[in-house]
Amino acid sequence: MLTLLKLLKDGRFHSGQALGAGLGISRSAVWKQLQHLEAELGLSVHKVRGRGYQLARPLLLLDAAEIVSKEGFEWPVQIHDSIDSTNAEALRAIERGMAAPFLVLAERQIAGRGRRGRKWVSPFADNLYYSLVLRIEGGMRQIEGLSLVVGLAVMQTLCDLGGMNAGLKWPNDVLVGEKKIAGILLELVGDPADVCHVVLGVGINVNMRSTDEVDQQWTSMSLEAGRDFDRNELVARLSAKLQHYLTLHQVSGFAAIQQEWEHFHLWQGKAVSLIAGANQIDGVVMGIDRQGALRLKVDGVEKIFSGGELSLRLRDDS
């Protein structure tokens, strides 16, 4: 089925006879594969008598050779056509003993995950599903504020490549205005006080234009810029930006980028509600501390919050 997709990816018409010849199958078998393409991958195929078959939109698939050919790119890359999630595969690769750093990408996730167990919508060949595995030595200092470091790298990449006015929302979201365009999910394996592995999971809405599966305001690079983007270039650009910020973080700690992160925090000074399980804490965002924790003024008193299960929401009076 994916071989057929590669024949169709240019977005031009191809006759059933030509497709059958290219695949070594009958025209009726081509028809069946096309039905599977539409049903399983959610792709739209135009069928015109006398002209053949055409994808509704051309596809530019991920290409490991193209990615690693970019200047300065150093990480081994795995690309999967369809997988449960890139983070899950990265964790399995760690268990198999694969040496870090390495990068896991996918055209589609069938069980993509966001923070707090939320589903991450992952249509085929539209968006970026990216998991970078790092080996961390030197204890907790190397992990402090790491998700914020990744978020800053993602945001800067989107601004550089797409010219969009993106910003940050503590702790793990990248927004354009009030609409989410990217999210980060970090997962850790091992002893954080000694030697461990961390999976830096990034999901970016790249060329997605419509979906009824997202339960919050969202946008994509394509919707913001009015054009489609080459995801291979995006992978290379994001990886270079991550290398820069990760090196800075490793050498100087999170404090080295604290001020830059705060500058791009869209909710700085805003009235918010911090959700922690069944509890809600109302306050005003003061910023973040030198470890990346949230500084919140609650009833006139500054309080510090950190942790993976916290969610921040704007209050109606903000």
From the candidates 27, 135, 313, 315, give the one annotated as an active-site residue.
313
Please indicate if the annotation marks 17 as binding a ligand.
no
Provide the CB-side half-sphere exposure for 221 (13 A, CA).
Answer: 23
Residues 6+ apart with CB under 8 A from 209: 220, 222, 223
Examine the residue annotation and report whether 241 is marked as an active-site residue of this protein: no
CA distances from 244 to 140, 141, 199, 238, 289 (A): 20, 18, 17, 10, 21
Examine the residue annotation and report whether 297 is marked as an active-site residue of this protein: no
Please indicate if the annotation marks 169 as binding a ligand.
no
Q: Residue 233: left (phi > 0), alpha (psi -120 to 50), or beta? A: alpha
Please indicate if the annotation marks 190 as binding a ligand.
no
CA nearest to 133, candidates 183, 196, 181, 71: 196
Buried/exposed code over 16-28 (b: 16+ C-beta within 10 A; e: otherwise): beebbeeeeeeee
146: tokens are: 């790491």
Q: Is the CB of residue 221 less than 8 Å from the CB of residue 165?
A: no
Please indicate if the annotation marks 147 as binding a ligand.
no
Tell me the sheet residues that pair with 176.
166, 179
Please indicate if the annotation marks 109 as binding a ligand.
yes
Cβ burial, residue 99 (10 Å; 0-12/13-18/19+)? exposed
From the candidates 180, 231, 237, 241, give the one annotated as an active-site residue.
180
Please indicate if the annotation marks 3 as binding a ligand.
no
H-helix or E-strand spanning residue 180: strand 179-190
* 3-class SS of residue 282: strand
Please indicate if the annotation marks 113 as binding a ligand.
yes
Please indicate if the annotation marks 114 as binding a ligand.
yes
Helix and strand counts by DSSP (H, E) for the chain: 9, 14
H-helix or E-strand spanning residue 175: strand 173-176
Binding site as annotated, residues = 85-87, 109, 113-115, 180
For the annotated binding site for biotin, the residues are: 85-87, 109, 113-115, 180
The catalytic residues are 115, 180, 313
